[in-house]
Structure 1
Amino acid sequence: MDVIKQASTVFFPEVIEWLKAENERDGTGFYCNRNVIERLFSRGDGLCYMVAGRTVGFVVFQMYIDGGEIHIIEIEPSFRQQGLGSQLLMAGVEALRGKGAKYVEVECTSLEGEALCRSQLFEKYIDPVNYKNEDDNPILRRYFSEWRPSPPNPWA
């Protein structure tokens, strides 16, 4: 039976095992972010996708003042292309909405990640303070209402 559970350090060793294997096999994945993943797992700021008692995916996130950010979403390679990433992404979005987020933001570092987010109604967001150029990784946001931040004042 598939189930999504709150992340905790109990699930971390299994996740790190397949992240490390993916990194050693083809140099991809988020093994390089293991410290961030462990910290967010220890705070319960994430969710794990379980299949038959095995952790096959996770999402880690953080709540800010009025919005949330999804830092990492990853599915173990042999479980990809089954819709688990979409389910996990939306569970993370709903967790942040439940904490009071007006929007959820994600910085996409892969074309696959960007396609996943866009399929779930995320739209391009240009941060007026931190935007550098078109070569930056795209930031996508999903809003929970018609609310949008005010455009920057070009005269300020």
Structure 2
Amino acid sequence: MTVTVAQATRSNLNEILRWLKQEDEETGEGFWCNRTVVESCHRDGELLVLREDGEAVAFLAGRVWVPDILEVRPDRRGRGHGRLLAEHVVAEASRIGDCLLRIECQPASSIPFWERMGFRLYRDDEEARILGGHAYRVLGRTHARPEGPAVAVEVELYPEARSWNPAVRPLLSRRLEAARREDGRLQLPERVVLFSPDVPRPPESFVRIAIDGQDVFLDKAKRDEAKAVGVERDPGGTYYVDALR
């Protein structure tokens, strides 16, 4: 048996629509009601298909960092195809530099699968477990530490209210030992992803960065000054820090 993951062809799309329609007619379940989303993703080049011996048996629709739908053909479930597709998305997101994957767990029965894939619900309560909810996975990255003396670095993430209220407590606080690279930048031992499930609007996130106890940045992550210090933004819009200037 040969299993491959690739961009869906028009023929693959037709196969997918046929089985979605059949599933809907036989069980009333599945994503036939979302067929326009699947078709739109195909037009935009955002429809991945898993082929088993050349036959489309699973698909994933949506952008890499916010996939909309993952479905395995009913007669091919339980063979690990969903896991292979999810792992492919995680690997691709890491390759292009994404820090954060966001999904919607619908139906709610999909929650255990996504939790096994490393995702966490934004709001983990009884209602979400029954009705379904949104989930996320932070993609970390480690870095080789240059030789040289350690430099203490603090990176903190706050809600927007920190702009006018200094008493607001950080949602994320990291203390690391960096080291100076040959280009003069301070390399962190690991990526600090400026994300908290409690921040609904990441562009308004307030960030504090200190080196050896001295603040070098204290403002919103979207400011040009943040980029000058070393705050970067991934393709999905999440801010992170790998090294400081």
Give the TM-score range, shorter chain.
Answer: 0.7 to 0.9
Question: Which protein has greater RCO, CA pairs closer than 8 Å, 6+ apart?
Answer: 1
1:38-49 aligned within 5 A: 38-49=39-50
The residue that corresponds to 2:23 in the other structure is: 22
Note the C-alpha offset of 1:41.
1.4
More strand by share: 2
Identity of paired residues, percent?
26
Letter in 2 for 1:142: R
Checking the alignment, whether the CA contact within 8 Å between 1:122 and 1:142 is kept in structure 2 is yes
Note the C-alpha offset of 1:2.
1.1
Checking the alignment, whether the CA contact within 8 Å between 1:8 and 1:43 is kept in structure 2 is no
The residue that corresponds to 2:75 in the other structure is: 78
Note the C-alpha offset of 1:10.
3.3
The residue that corresponds to 1:144 in the other structure is: 139
The residue that corresponds to 1:94 in the other structure is: 91
Query: Superposition RMSD on alpha carbons, in Å?
Result: 2.2
Note the C-alpha offset of 1:82.
0.9
For structure 1, the residue ranges without an aligned partner over 5 or more in a row are: 127-132
The residue that corresponds to 1:121 in the other structure is: 118
CA distance in structure 2 between the partners assigned to 1:46 and 1:100 by the alignment: 20
Checking the alignment, whether the CA contact within 8 Å between 2:108 and 2:133 is kept in structure 1 is no
Checking the alignment, whether the CA contact within 8 Å between 2:108 and 2:132 is kept in structure 1 is no
Note the C-alpha offset of 1:134.
4.1
Q: Secondary structure at the match of 1:73?
A: strand
For structure 2, the residue ranges without an aligned partner over 5 or more in a row are: 141-191, 201-245
Q: Secondary structure at the match of 1:28?
A: coil
The residue that corresponds to 1:129 in the other structure is: none
Note the C-alpha offset of 1:94.
2.3
